[in-house]
């Protein structure tokens, strides 16, 4: 539900900091409506976002990104997700943000699909490909052809891995940040969803740029990380619908 830039919160992460992060994300994506919404609780935020999606879908205004996954390697996926978001034109960036960076994952071999479908970004090794963001009708045929990518196994704590975001630095020197992902109760599919929102919106906000280094760190919970965050991915707690949980976070410069 939330991935919004905020001042580094105190440690440990507080309920107020999580709520602010989630509400700030709504205000950034839909500023024209945020002032009229109840953003005071986890349930209110969930209801507001559900209303946004229903309205956008009914009016065919939702911008949807599609990722075709043939072989998943998480560090490579992090790197290529940033590359995809960085290459977007301003209009595409605005439309995707307006739709809360919605992304669908499909299982397939991009190499076998390149002649039939025009992808906007393909990983260097051909293992993954991105299309959009665009109105849902644009990728309807592709989405009907392929099944959803499913990775229901648990995400486990793994050794840290550092990746470099592709491209030459533009408006600022490269920085090094930790990308922290909570593993408790998290599946690999769930991690893709949460981290994708965090990475995409960090790129759109300029927190991730070409040449930056990101160290992917897995931890049971973000509350156990002794770091300060400049962006959080916050959503409803899967087991406690009246509470919020931080699923991923981008730290201040290492």
The predicted structure's pLDDT at residue 2: 58
Q: How far apart are CA 50 and CA 58, in angstroms?
A: 12
What are the pLDDT digits (tens) for 92-127? 999 999 999 999 999 999 999 999 999 999 999 999
State how many domains the chain has: 1
Domain boundaries, position 200 = 2-251
| pLDDT of 9 over the 70 cut | no
For residue 133, cis peptide bond before it (omega within 30 degrees of 0): yes
Cα–Cα nearest to 203, from 244, 170, 162, 181: 170
The answer, yes or no, to whether residue 215 has pLDDT greater than 60, is: yes
Question: To 5 degrees, how large is the angle CA 95–CA 136–CA 42?
Answer: 65
Q: Is residue 239's pLDDT more than 80?
A: no
Nearest to 114 by CA among 93, 130, 102, 92: 130
Check residues 190 and 42 and name the one with the higher pLDDT. 190
118 CB contacts (<8 Å, ≥6 apart)?
131
Joined tokens for residue 245: 């949980």
Q: What is the reported pLDDT for 13?
A: 75
More confident residue, 217 or 32: 217
pLDDT on residue 157: 86
pLDDT of residue 225 exceeding 80? no
27-69, pLDDT tens digit by residue? Answer: 888 887 767 777 878 788 877 777 766 665 555 578 999 999 9
Confidence of residue 240 (pLDDT cuts 50, 70, 90): confident
Q: pLDDT (tens digit, 9 = 90+) per residue, 134-176? A: 999 999 999 999 999 999 999 998 899 999 999 988 888 999 9
- Measured CA to CA in angstroms, residue 190 lies from 105, 182, 235, 251 at distances of 11, 11, 11, 20
| pTM (2 d.p.) | 0.89
Q: What is the number of residues in the chain?
A: 254
Chain segment 16-27, per-residue pLDDT in tens: 888 888 888 888
The CA distance from 230 to 9, in Å, is 8
R_g over Cα of the chain = 17
Residue in 89, 28, 98 with CA at minimum distance from that of residue 63: 98
């Amino acid at each position: 539900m939330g991935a919004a830039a905020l001042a580094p919160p105190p440690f440990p992460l507080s309920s107020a900091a999580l709520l602010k992060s989630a509400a700030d994300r709504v205000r950034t994506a839909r500023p024209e409506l945020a002032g009229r919404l109840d953003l005071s609780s986890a349930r209110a935020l969930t209801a507001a976002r559900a209303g946004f999606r229903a309205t956008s879908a009914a009016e065919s205004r939702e911008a949807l990104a599609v990722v075709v996954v043939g072989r998943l390697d998480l560090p490579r996926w992090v790197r290529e997700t940033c590359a995809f978001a960085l290459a977007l034109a301003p209009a595409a960036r605005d439309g995707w943000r307006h739709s809360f960076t919605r992304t669908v994952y499909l299982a397939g071999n991009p190499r076998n699909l390149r002649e039939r479908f025009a992808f906007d970004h393909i990983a260097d090794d051909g293992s993954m490909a991105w299309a959009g963001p665009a109105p849902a009708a644009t990728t309807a045929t592709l989405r009907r052809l392929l099944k959803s990518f499913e990775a229901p196994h648990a995400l486990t704590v793994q050794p840290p891995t550092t990746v470099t975001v592709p491209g030459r630095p533009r408006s600022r020197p490269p920085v090094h940040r930790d990308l922290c992902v909570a593993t408790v109760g998290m599946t690999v599919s769930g991690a893709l969803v949460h981290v994708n929102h965090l990475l995409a919106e960090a790129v759109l906000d300029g927190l991730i740029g070409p040449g930056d280094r990101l160290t992917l760190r897995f931890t049971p919970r973000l509350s156990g990380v002794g770091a300060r965050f400049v962006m959080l991915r916050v959503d409803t707690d899967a087991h406690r619908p009246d509470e919020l949980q931080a699923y991923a976070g981008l730290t201040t410069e290492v």
